[in-house]
Structure 1
Amino acid sequence: MSTQRMSGARAVVECLKAEGVEFVFGVPGGQTLSIMDVLYETPEIRFITTRDERGAAHMADAFGRITGTPGICLATTGPGATNLITGIGGAMRDSSPVIAITVNNRRKDIGYDDAQDADHVALFQSLTKWSVLVTAPERIPHVMREAFRRALMGCPGPVLVDFSRDAVEEGELEFTPAAPLTYRAAGRVRPDLEDVVRAARGLREARRPVLWAGNGVLISEASAEVLALAEAQQIPVITTFNGIGAVPTVHPLVFGPRSRFGTRLAKEILAEADLLIAVGNSLNAPSTSRWTLKLPARIIQVDIEPSMVGRHYPCEATVVGDAREALLALASAMKDAPIPAQRTEWVADLQRRRTAWRAEATPAHFAGKIPIKPQYLVQRVRAMLPESGIIVAGAGNPGIWSHLMDVYEPRTYLKPVGFGNMGIEVPAAIAAKLARPARHVVTIVGDGALGMCVAELETAVRERTPLVVVVMNNRSYGNIKQEHEAKYGPRYIGVDFGDVRFDLVAQGFGARGERVERPEDLDDALRRAFAAEAVVVLDVPIDDQENVWKDPF
């Protein structure tokens, strides 16, 4: 490969091209203009201008989750960079590969009260896998390649690359192209055989084991391996919230998500089980209701990160390695293991209870209720959305009610879990449509969260990304209002809004908008929305008396 002399800005873009980057999300600023100028003549990469850098970070996060490849966001110094932080925090807590690129002031001016002066590395350090300041142009190729390495290796996550303005704008360097496989590994981490044998021994002894699949199953693309082990050994499977979609929810051995606000049936399974197999599941606070959830005394934990296994709960066996490789090895070790009769009986009982639970969770009489019940709303959205469609569930109550929706394929459901960041909904839906243009995309969002990202409707219209926004409009920060009531009674303060007509707001941004108040009108409105090949907002006033803090399902 021939060496060329080029600017720092061009070297940044050449590194993105080498990694096959198709989109950069961001807001232009004075410090980033040198990179923008190179992007102008780089047709392989499409720059998506957002209305706020928060939207850019959320788009990069969602793109990383749906594709498994790093989402890229770009921001200028100071307020541009700080606006990225919420989205980057979400990517960190939900293990999404993201590369945030910021351009700071000139090296000699950083830390000397220049306009918009900020220490980006210090600001991002606790919310990234790696944060670095680059002030010398000749370091750009190495640092950019290292950024992709770190974003993807082990448990994925975000990194920050902060350039001084002079590094990308004024300096030059000798650039030698390099293929990604020359600087980062593509193989999978295989587990230690002794660890697998120890885990298999524990599973052979179990009468009521449960497999709790987390985000690591999605990252590893190990869905088939989870189901193969579950079917061979008749093991019920539940998921974390970040693991929703790792296995199809309609499979007879899959029993829904569990954490705070998960299904009652999944909670019962954990309480009844005598062995927990946690796969790609760190057993962190969001998964375990801040470690208050009752778990079996015996735990086998499988994780690619050695620092995660046994961190929160003592384990009788730990397996460090890629989830797919670990499951293949465990299935092989269990090949001739008999299935205890007690396990078969337990699974049959669980399946009977699941049938009853499904009927109870969305009763038929909800179809005639005004205001529309949130349970009925998500049920009808799911019925109208193709099985391959992508669901972006919002923070708060919309995300909780979305647990009633079946998910058929991996990477077709996402929501903010570890950071709980509101405002991701519309940006994430845009990124989902860009990543998977042939699929229908719907986001289910509360009116509170939509207020934080509503301007990105214009981005969706401008970029021609058809999607459907279903607004659960309860004129409040509903989840916090219900938590307040649960803890202090109905002494509400700071949680209620006026009635915003988001259907009319949408029209102002060039989207289509419709308010749906009667349940009998819902199916037709959804059909029109999904058929429109446009940005459509359905504003649905819902019954705010349906309370997620009362363990509704």
Structure 2
Amino acid sequence: MQQMTTSQPARAKIGAARAVIQCLKLEGVEFIFGVPGGQTLSIMDALYDEPGIRFITTRDERAAAHMADAYGRLTGKPGVCLATTGPGATNLITAVGGAHRDSSPVVVITCNNRRRHIGQDDNQDADHITLFRQFTKLSRFVPDSEGIPQAVREAFRVATTGNPGPVLLDFARDAVEGGEIAFEPIEPQNYRFNERPVAPEASIAAAAQALAAARKPVLWLGRGAIIARAGEAALKLAELLGAPIVTSFNGISAVPGDHDLCFGPRSRFGTKVSKHLLQDSDCILVVGNSMNAASTSRWTLPLTRNIAQVDLDPAIVGRNYPVAVGVIGDAADALRRLAAALQGKVSANAAARADWLAQARRLREDWRKDVFAPAYATSRPIKPQWVMQTLGAAIDANTVIVADAGNPGVWTHMLPIKTPGAYMKPVGYGNMAFGLPAAIAAKLAGPRKDVIAVVGDGSLGMSMGDMETAVREKAPFTLIVMNDMAYGNIKQEELHFHGQRYIGVDFGDVDYAGIAKCMGGDGEKVANPGDLADAIARGKASGRFYLIDVRIDGSENVWKDPI
């Protein structure tokens, strides 16, 4: 339980913009990601006097929101991004939408025009509240200086309670440029409480009964399991049952990917193994996973009706598939209590479950032989599967993998992520240009982590300017560009669904490693599969932003089932 402080905080008169910064400081904010503008300058000026908060200037506002999203995912604390009115704010929206769909805590700060001018055709006029409402848990306009402290506290409370997500604070320019206000430095533990509710005992008992009777149980973990830090409890329950674990794409890294009971993710691009396990299971324990379109091939995946679904949000349970048992509460707590309830009660179908698990292991071994074919070691252009096999061998417990949208991100499901929470990808919104800025934020959030980003040349083209940000902010990491000189995912759709009538998907030949060097980083091109491992090792050891341009076989199809 959080402890409240009971002493009366001292009131002081401070400027309105300084009140914004002081509220952020009390929340432990380390970074503000953004692009300054005329309407934000009072906040920037107040930040000048606060050395404890570092402003990270990005080359585009979208990158700032991606960085805030990544910071929120990795730390569990809201990332903060800042933009000016109109085009500054609208440039944030795509990335804020990604944070919303993937339940990432973000506080978005925009500064609008002066209150009396909003809606009067002032320069860069925009209704930020309407624009952001569908992509945030809360969008709030702050018209006056006195409302600033309460508004900032509410933003952090809403962003972090329940299922986390982004919140917009839109300050009128004259609110943050206003005179002094009375300010109380209230600690966060006195205005927000993040204890997660526990599930009723009756639902735990019902779920335990269903699992005890199962012959083919499966645990299906989503991002909610990562947020709840439920991986250890999930493994203990799976070991007790002898049950395989499958994840959603957003659930990758809920448990270590190289654990014997982990059988990979299921999504539209899921593995044959995970698809088989879910379709054939007679009891699925769904944890922090909404079973959305991406996880179920748009709800065409046939599943048993014997589903027990664990989620913090009752609105999620049973939303996309009917369930036999709903368990509303914290995932880690629920899994621990399920394991306790099942002690001494799992012997009845032990032989059947052992056969089920053995079958799953055989399927996984066959799948590995398929996707890691020996011929890939010499194939040119380089096969995407070889990139993943080589990168997988370089991953250790200190590695954070940042995957972008598109084909490269899909291929990363093959990587054996070793550490819970050490993987992120824009899944729900599929927003491109995530990888490069997210990797910068990952390195800033965890300077001792070995950060490796995997992006396509399509996404990189949308975010390339922030190579300079990585160099300027001394955020060294390795960026692997899977270069097929195309919007590869869409090109493959044109191949399969439109008779190879290619239009609008091909690029020219770009020297991405050369661009990285021009911006102060380093890099190299790799065309020979045998050279890739050494290139990755050089990138990791360089202590710099290091780009590896890998010329891949774009015809290797991510849409086919064997991946």
| TM score, norm. by length of structure 1 | 0.99
Task: Give distance in 1, aligned partners of 2:179 and 2:307.
Answer: 55
CA deviations on 1:274-301 (whole Å, 9 max, x unpaired) are 1111100011112112111122221111
Give distance in 1, aligned partners of 2:395 and 2:218: 30
- Offset at residue 186 of structure 1 (A): 3.0
1:361-380 alignment runs, 5 A limit: 361-380=371-390
| Matching of residue 323 in structure 1 with residue 331 in structure 2 | yes
The separation in 2 between residues aligned to 1:137 and 1:500, in whole angstroms, is: 49
Q: Does 1:314 align with 2:297?
A: no
Which residue of structure 1 lines up, in the alignment, with residue 160 of structure 2?
Answer: 152
Deviations 1:130-160 (A, max 9, x none): 0000011111111111101100000000000
AA at the equivalent of 1:235: A
Distance 1:296 1:11 in 2: 54
Q: 1:394: how far off?
A: 1.3
Letter of the structure 2 residue corresponding to residue 62 of structure 1: A
Equivalent residue, structure 1, for 2:453: 443
Q: How does 1:88-167 map to 2 (within 5 A)?
A: 88-167=96-175
Counterpart of 1:475, as a letter, is M
Does residue 1:302 correspond to 2:310, yes or no? Answer: yes
The match for 1:281 among 283, 289, 296 is 289
Instruction: Tell whether the 8 Å contact from 2:395 to 2:418 is kept in structure 1 after alignment.
Output: no
1:469-512 residue CA offsets vs partner (Å, 9 max, x unmatched)? 11111010000110121111100110111111111111221111
Is the 1:101–1:162 Cα contact (8 Å) retained in structure 2? yes
Equivalent residue, structure 2, for 1:239:
247
Q: After TM superposition, give the deviation of residue 271 of structure 1 in Å.
A: 1.2
* Maintained 8 Å contact 2:396/2:418: no
Give yes or no for the alignment of 1:461 onto 2:488.
Answer: no
Match of 1:44 in 2: 52
**CA-atom RMSD in angstroms:** 1.0
Query: 1:301 touches 1:317 (CA, 8 Å); kept in 2?
Result: yes
Report Cα offsets for 1:39-70 as digits up to 9, x if no partner: 11101100000000000000000000011110
Structure 1 residues 457-496: aligned runs within 5 Å: 457-496=467-506
Do structure 1's residue 228 and structure 2's residue 236 form an aligned pair?
A: yes
Per the TM alignment, residue 462 of structure 1 is displaced from its structure 2 partner at its CA by 0.2
Match of 1:17 in 2: 25
Q: Which amino acid aligns with 1:505?
A: I
Q: SS in structure 2 opposite 1:285? A: coil
**Letter of the aligned partner of 1:276 in structure 2?**
I
User: What residue is the counterpart of 2:410 in the other structure?
Assistant: 400
The counterpart of 1:425, out of the listed 435, 439, 443, is 435
Distance 1:292 1:349 in 2: 24
Residue type at the aligned position of 1:516? V
Aligned length: 553
Q: Which moved more, 1:195-204 or 1:406-415?
A: 195-204
Q: Paired residue for 2:540?
A: 530
Q: Does the residue aligned with 1:454 lie in a helix, a strand or coil?
A: helix
Q: What is the CA distance between 1:387 and its match in structure 2? A: 2.9
Asked if structure 2 preserves the Cα contact closer than 8 Å seen for 1:98 and 1:157, the reply is: yes
Please say if 1:332 is aligned against 2:340. yes
Structure 1 residues 166-207: Cα deviation after superposition (integer angstroms, max 9, x where no partner): 101123311111111111113221111111111112112211
Match of 1:54 in 2: 62
Counterpart position of 1:358: 368
The range that moved more, 301-310 or 341-350, is: 341-350
Q: In structure 1, what is the equivalent of residue 5 of structure 2? A: none
Structure 1 regions of 5+ residues with no counterpart? none
Distance 1:469 1:442 in 2: 6
Give, in whole Å, the separation in 2 of the partners of 1:437 and 1:233: 39
Distance in 1 (alpha carbons) for counterparts of 2:331 and 2:315:
15
Give 2:459's aligned amino acid.
A
- Whole-angstrom distance in 1 between the partners of 2:358 and 2:388: 28
Which of the residues 499, 506, 512 maps onto 2:509? 499
8 Å Cα contact 1:516/1:540 also seen in 2: yes
2: CA distance, partners of 1:43 / 1:316: 54
Contact 2:79 2:106 in 1 (8 A): yes
Contact 2:70 2:442 (C-alpha < 8 Å) held by counterparts: yes
Match for residue 217 of structure 1? 225
SS in 1 for 2:462: coil
* Residue in 2 that maps onto 1:248: 256
Name the SS of the counterpart of 1:277 in structure 2: strand
The amino acid across from 1:297 in the alignment is R
Answer yes or no: is the 8 Å Cα contact 2:68–2:79 preserved in 1. Answer: yes
- Partners of 1:60 and 1:249 lie apart in 2 by 26
Q: Give the drift of 1:467.
A: 0.7
Aligned residue identity for 1:178: I
The aligned amino acid for 2:301 is: L
Indicate if the aligned counterparts of 2:383 and 2:552 stay in contact, CA closer than 8 A: yes
Equivalent-residue separation in structure 2 for 1:437 and 1:386 (angstroms) = 16
**Which amino acid counterpart does residue 170 of structure 1 have in structure 2?**
G
Q: Deviations over 1:439-474 (max 9, x none)?
A: 111111110010000100000000000011111110
Corresponding residue to 1:416 among 401, 420, 426: 426
Task: Give the corresponding residue for 2:522.
Answer: 512
CA distance in 1, matches of 2:391, 2:324: 43
Deviation at residue 87 of structure 1 after TM alignment: 0.7
In 1, Cα distance between equivalents of 2:560 and 2:425: 22
Deviation of residue 382 (structure 1)? Answer: 2.1
- What residue identity is the alignment partner of 1:270? L
On the 8 A contact 2:367/2:562 being kept in 1, the answer is no
Q: Distance in 1 between matches of 2:533 and 2:290?
A: 39
Larger mean Cα displacement after TM superposition, 352-361 or 262-271:
352-361
Cα distance in 2, alignment partners of residues 217 and 338 from structure 1: 23
Aligned to 2:197: 189
Contact 1:259 1:293 in 2 (8 A): no
Moved more, 64-73 or 517-526: 517-526
Partner of 1:199: 207
Mapped partners of 2:11, 2:131: distance in 1: 36
* 1:452 aligned to which of 433, 457, 462: 462
Q: TM-score w.r.t. structure 2 length?
A: 0.97
Q: Which moved more, 1:225-234 or 1:517-526?
A: 517-526
Whole-angstrom distance in 1 between the partners of 2:346 and 2:90: 56
- Find the counterpart in structure 2 of residue 540 from structure 1: 550
Alignment correspondent of 1:6: 14
CA distance in 2, matches of 1:411, 1:46: 24
